[in-house]
Structure 1
Amino acid sequence: MTTAAELRRNLAHDLASAGHLRTQPWRHAVEAVPRHEFLAGGFFEQVPDSAPTAWRPVMPGTDDWLRRCYADESLVTQIAGTIAPGDLRGEIMRAPTSSSTMPNLVVRMHEELRVEDGHQVLEVGTGTGYSTALLCRRLGDDAVTSVEVDESVSLRARNALAACGAHPDLVVGDGLLGYAENAPYDRITVTCAVVTVPYEWVGQTRAGGTILATVGGWLHSSELARLTVEADGTARGTFLGGQISFMLARPQLPPPLGLLPDFGAGDERRTAFGIDLLADWTARFVAQIAAPRAQRITLGPDGRENHVLLDVETGSWAALTRNNGQWTVRQGGPARLWDDVADHITRWRTDGSPPLERFRITVTPQGQEITWPRVA
């Protein structure tokens, strides 16, 4: 039987061969930190062909549990905000709320963070603690502060870290507020996605320091951004590409849909663009810039499929249908969501459809702005 140490070495070799592990200190960390300790409570696997998606627990002692702990895959560790693998027998059809991120993304983010000896790091989202343990191995326990919103998740991470001999400063709280007590930080790394980068992170980062966070939205397109904090308190940066996806920070999750508007009301017209344009990752990201609080739902009244964008807070909505190859849109509420989306998509295409790696993100006390350049 292959030992955990051998599996760690194999994982490090595979990650290095794929270009995710680029420097020796991080390779040493991957070879040293036992990921299975952070999955000792088991994990959930998706039930094949289930619709809606169902999950079932995989516990230590099963045939391939140890091997899968060192596979390059994300492993769900909590369902519906409270349910751990050991709490369940059978299957559950609820949304995942915590996971152990796939190792290639963990190490890619650590490499992109560009830490140096002596740096102080704030990690937002402790999760299982595996990523935290790698940071401790690289920089030392005293250099690492990690914030987790879920007290039970933080406790499990603390126990796993202690079992590995790591004792960073673990904080239970809202990571969107950072942790001012240990500021300023040289680096902030974020293991959840955000709709907007909180200015608290900028204010707690030294001038010249780095914030690494996945920025996305409620239409489910996101990218990893690396921002540098400037002396005037502005953070500027670019996106690193790769279609990175994380669970959204809980305080920034979309609100419940509630009572739906009457989609038969409003103004109807033909539109050159249909909902199919949102199948493209970058186009969907552009749509989120235009309609940052819109959610997408699909309804099928009267035998016709309606693709709806809905802003619950303002009551604005756009319902798109396709008949005989022609898209029509009906819109209601104070804003015309689809007009805004179509305008942004048109300008992005006119500017040469630049990839997300060319987009720029700026964060100031007044808020967040994402722009793109014109490609010649």
Structure 2
Amino acid sequence: MTTWDEHAAQLADTVTHPRSRWRDAIRATPRHLLVPRWWHNDLTGTLLLDGPTDPHRWMRAAYSDTTLVTRLGSLHADLAHPDDRPPWWPSSSSTLPSLIVRMFRHARPETGQNILDVGTGSGYGTALLCHRFGDQHITSVDIDPYLTATARERLADIGHKPLIAATDATGPLPDTYDRIIATVSVPRIPAPWLAALRPGGRLVTTITGTSLIIGADKTPDGGALGRVERDWAGFMGTRHGPDYPPRLMHQFPHARDQDGDDITTGRYPVLDIAEAWEVNTQLTLAVPGIETHFETDGDDRTAYLLHADGSWARAHGHWTDAPTVHQSGPRRLWDVLERIRHKLNIEGSLGLYGYRVHIEPNGRCHISQGGWTAVIE
């Protein structure tokens, strides 16, 4: 039977170049011990998987370049009963290893630097950092006390003892750092991150609701300058309590069957917006706080756009047919989406990757290129 270190070596072959400085860390880290149980979702629904009871599947899952979901809503896989079938709303995971390594590369960490890992999760990313830079230089934070306590115990079992703290990562931080690397997304850059970043330090994060990875270096005024990386990623958003607040879909039941104030025929077929990363990114920048929802019934598709200001839109159509669109509230959300899709069709791309980023000390983030600017605040 193939041993775990042989599986880890195969994973390293998959996600790193032979001369990568992250290669040894992946080969030396027993990911399976950090993720003994996880949630799986397929056409049959949600299923709890237990590694020790199926070692072959455990090794195959732990050492594949795959995200393993470890928490749904407020229910940890570690604490769940085999018959539990919670809704598929992931709230913590062990991120796919290739993405963790990409985020670390964007941060450009160096030996001797103090590094903050935002979003402990299973502790796998923390373990990679510890292997390469030493436990004494690594701090990891997560809002979930169970996750931090469990990661601390499991990391100690494999020989790592970084500082791990249960705290809201968007608030005051335990220390100051040369690098801040977030594998959770934020709706805006937290001002405490800038305050905790040492002179010349660098932060890397993603913006909630977008595929944007922002890498920025601290400036003498307490802000930061950088770029939208020529790369993309999507992470779960930061939360400030035991679980995320209810989705807006629960607050807008009328959006499912009520006629809108405006009823029109859409220009483009119904789209699963969350899976169209460029479109979703531009929509989030245009309407911060917007939520999307998508359903299918055979070839019939329905998409919803919702906002806390009371605006909602529903578009229903058959496959590639033009949909019927209902809209209500102070803003016509589907109109905003169609303008974005029209621009994409004309120009072939919505840009943003490689654009300049200027972050003020209070966290207000300006993304610009030429005469175009978007502000995230």
Question: TM-score scaled by structure 1?
Answer: 0.83
**Partner residue in 2 for 1:167:** 161
Task: Flag the 1:74–1:367 CA change in 2: closer, same or farther, 3 A.
Answer: same
Matched residues in 1 for 2:348 and 2:43: separation? 40
**Partner residue in 1 for 2:283:** 287
1:339 aligns with 2:335: yes
**Partner residue in 2 for 1:231:** 220
How far has the Cα of 1:235 moved from its partner?
A: 2.6
1:296 aligns with 2:285: no
Identity across aligned pairs (percent)? Answer: 31
How far has the Cα of 1:274 moved from its partner?
A: 5.4
1:192 aligns with 2:184: yes
Moved more, 128-137 or 358-367: 358-367
Which residue among 314, 317, 327 is the counterpart of 2:312?
317
Matched residues in 2 for 1:272 and 1:370: separation? 29
Q: Which secondary structure does the structure 1 equivalent of 2:49 belong to?
A: strand
**Partner residue in 1 for 2:234:** 245
**Partner residue in 1 for 2:75:** 82
Task: Flag the 1:29–1:96 CA change in 2: closer, same or farther, 3 A.
Answer: same
Matched residues in 2 for 1:156 and 1:268: separation? 52
1:267 aligns with 2:262: yes
Is the contact made by 1:351 and 1:373 (CA closer than 8 Å) also made in structure 2? no
1:182 aligns with 2:175: yes
Unmatched 5+ stretches in structure 2? 373-377
Matched residues in 1 for 2:43 and 2:345: separation? 37
**Partner residue in 2 for 1:23:** 20
1:213 aligns with 2:205: yes
**Partner residue in 2 for 1:201:** 193
Unmatched 5+ stretches in structure 1? none
How far has the Cα of 1:164 moved from its partner?
A: 1.8
Deviation by residue 1:61-110 (Cα, 9 ceiling, x = unmatched)? 42412343222222122232233245322352422322111111122222
Is the contact made by 2:270 and 2:301 (CA closer than 8 Å) also made in structure 1? no
Matched residues in 2 for 1:160 and 1:297: separation? 37
Q: Which amino acid aligns with 1:267?
A: D
**Partner residue in 1 for 2:141:** 147
**Partner residue in 2 for 1:56:** 48
Q: Which amino acid aligns with 2:365?
A: Q
Q: Which amino acid aligns with 2:364?
A: G
Which residue among 88, 97, 104 is the counterpart of 2:91?
97
Is the contact made by 1:55 and 1:93 (CA closer than 8 Å) also made in structure 2? no
Matched residues in 1 for 2:133 and 2:191: separation? 26
Moved more, 188-197 or 85-94: 85-94
Deviation by residue 1:309-361 (Cα, 9 ceiling, x = unmatched)? 111x2112233345994455443222332334444555666666344423444
Q: Which amino acid aligns with 1:237?
A: G
Task: Flag the 1:205–1:326 CA change in 2: closer, same or farther, 3 A.
Answer: same
Deviation by residue 1:254-300 (Cα, 9 ceiling, x = unmatched)? 64332445642423445545543846321221111112212223589
Q: Which secondary structure does the structure 1 equivalent of 2:213 belong to?
A: strand
Deviation by residue 1:179-205 (Cα, 9 ceiling, x = unmatched)? 1x311x111011112232222212221
Is the contact made by 1:277 and 1:284 (CA closer than 8 Å) also made in structure 2? no
Question: TM-score scaled by structure 2?
Answer: 0.83
**Partner residue in 1 for 2:61:** 68
Is the contact made by 1:286 and 1:345 (CA closer than 8 Å) also made in structure 2? no
1:9 aligns with 2:5: no
Q: Give the aligned length.
A: 358
**Partner residue in 2 for 1:42:** 37
Task: Flag the 1:362–1:261 CA change in 2: closer, same or farther, 3 A.
Answer: farther
Matched residues in 1 for 2:97 and 2:14: separation? 10
Task: Flag the 1:334–1:63 CA change in 2: closer, same or farther, 3 A.
Answer: same
Task: Flag the 1:366–1:66 CA change in 2: closer, same or farther, 3 A.
Answer: closer
How far has the Cα of 1:240 moved from its partner?
A: 3.0
**Partner residue in 1 for 2:365:** 368
Is the contact made by 1:57 and 1:85 (CA closer than 8 Å) also made in structure 2? no
How far has the Cα of 1:154 moved from its partner?
A: 0.8
Q: Which secondary structure does the structure 1 equivalent of 2:206 belong to?
A: strand
Q: Which amino acid aligns with 2:109?
A: V
Matched residues in 1 for 2:352 and 2:54: separation? 42
Q: Which amino acid aligns with 2:227?
A: T
